Amino acid sequence: MTTDTFSSKYTGEKAANNANGVDKQQKSGKIREKSIEHILSAAQHEFVINGFKGTTIQAIADRAGLPKANIHYYFKNKDNLIHAVLENILDLWDEVLGDISVDDDPKEVLAHFIRTKVRMSFTHPGPSKLFAMEIIQGAQHLKDYARTYLRKWVREKAKVFELWIEQGKMSKVDPVHLIFLIWSSTQHYADFETQILTIMNRGEYEEEDVEHISEFLCTIIIRGCGIEYP
């Protein structure tokens, strides 16, 4: 897990010191790790439900089953905490959505991308939601590097799409907006989970929904790009 990264980056000074003495107190180290994990998970939960300002440290502490001061012991303050949570999310996505190359088959790449993203929306709606809320509110807590990083990421992918278009592998559509389309239509199932479940008259998503929705989006979007599907 990448949790270590965050603890060393966002954790208070005292806690950072401990990083040097891991071997000394291995058992404590384990508990420490578990605690940090619990806190990050609890924080994510609360931030999603109540927003940044609306979330109280006490609520996070309660959900994590720890005293409030403990949260401040691991994370200097609320800002550090949400930074850690958000970075956790970006790492997760980066890990899942691998690289693409001009030599790949557009149909395969698009389908894989859509499928993966849909599945993420179903299995990890929380991070998706929190990320969306951050962006909606003006990305106040996404550090600059995360923002510029996103731009780079989109440009990279768009470049590949452009080459495919030049090679006649797909019809002429705006690559940047194609990425937005895929992003939004898949993310929607995480962000609007509540509304969608209400409309579909369900209690929660089922495995078959993932299949069905993936297939639906693949059909429309890939065909929309002038590629035969399936």
In the complex, the residues that contact DNA under the rule CB under 7 A are 14-15, 17-18, 21, 24-25, 27-28, 31-32, 35, 55-59, 66-70, 72-74, 76-79
Q: Which residues bind a second copy (CB under 8 A)?
A: 48-55, 129, 132-133, 135-139, 147-148, 150-151, 154-155, 173-174, 176-178, 180-181, 183-185, 187-189, 191-192, 194-196, 198-201, 212-213, 216-217, 219-221, 223-226
Give whole-number Cα distances, 229 to 104, 183, 206, in Å.
16, 20, 24
Residue 219 interacts, among DNA, a second copy, none and using kind-specific CB cut-offs from 5 to 8 Å, with: a second copy
- Output b/e per residue, 26-60; b: 16+ Cβ within 10 A: eeeeeebeebbebbbbbbbbbbbeeebeebebebb
Amino acid at 85: V
Give the whole-angstrom CA distance, residue 168 versus residue 106: 11
Residue 77 interacts, among DNA, a second copy, none and using kind-specific CB cut-offs from 5 to 8 Å, with: DNA
If the CB atoms of residues 33 and 215 are measured against a second copy, the closer one turns out to be 215
If the CB atoms of residues 20 and 201 are measured against a second copy, the closer one turns out to be 201
Return the bridge partners of 75, or none.
11
